[in-house]
Amino acid sequence: MFVLGIDPGLSRCGYGCVQKVRGELVAVAAGVIVTSPSEPLEERLVTLYHELGKLVKELAPDTVVVERVLFQTNARTAMSVGQASGLALVAAVEAGCSVAQYSANEVKQAVVGYGGATKAQVQHMVTRLLSLDEEPQPPDVADALALAFCHLTTQPLHESVRRALSGQSRRTQGQSVLKPPAERRSIAPSVRSNASGGTGTHDRAGLFRVQGADAAEVPGE
C-alpha cells in the first residue's frame, strides 16, 4: 500500500510518501511545497493547488492522508491551514485517490504513543520508525511522514472494527426479519434518500526536497 501524507500549510506544505513492503514501512519520497508570503493570496493558493496536483499525479498513491484541523489559537494560521487542507483534499479526489484524515493528537498517539508529544519527539520517532539516516527537515516533512505512518498502522485495525460492526449489523437485521406473532403487525420503515515560486523535483530514492521558494526563508503557517 502506497500512502501520501500531507501536512497542510500555505507557506510550507509538507508531504511524505510511505510504502508498505513485505510488512515493512519504507519512506520513498518527502519534501515541502513552499509559497512566498510576499505573493497575493490567490496566487499562492493557485501555486499550491497546481503543485499538489502534480505531486499526487507523479506519486500515484493509493490513499492521501491529510491532517484534520480541529483547533488553532491563531485565527490567521487556522484559516491558511484550512485553505491548504481543502486544496489537498480536492487534488486527491481529482486524482481518484481515497482520502483519510487524522487529528494531530491521533497521529502523535500512533507515532510517539502520547497525544501531547512535541514536534521534536515526532521527528525523532519518525526517523527511528522509518529507519531514516537523518531527521526530516523542516518539521512539516516529519509531520507528513507521520500522517502516512499513522494511516498504515491504524487502518487495518479500523477496517477490522468496521467489518465486525458490519457483521453484527447483518446478524441483527437477520433476526429482525423473523415473522412476528400473529396478533401483531409489523410495518417496515420506508427510507428515501434523495507556489508561484516554481517547481521542484521528487526523488523516490531520496528525501527532503523543497519546491518553490527557500523554506528557510519562509515562516510557517
**Residues carrying an active site annotation:** 7, 67, 140
- Given a contact cutoff of 8 angstroms between Cβ atoms, the answer to whether 213 and 3 are in contact is no
Other C-beta atoms closer than 10 Å to the C-beta of 171 total 10
Show the beta-strand stretches assigned E in the chain: 2-7, 12-21, 24-34, 63-68, 98-103, 209-211
Q: Locate cell 496566487: which residue?
A: 43
Distance CA 103, CA 147 (A): 9
Distance CA 1, CA 152 (A): 8
Distance CA 203, CA 29 (A): 6
Could you give phi then psi for residue 14, rounded to 5 degrees?
-80, 150
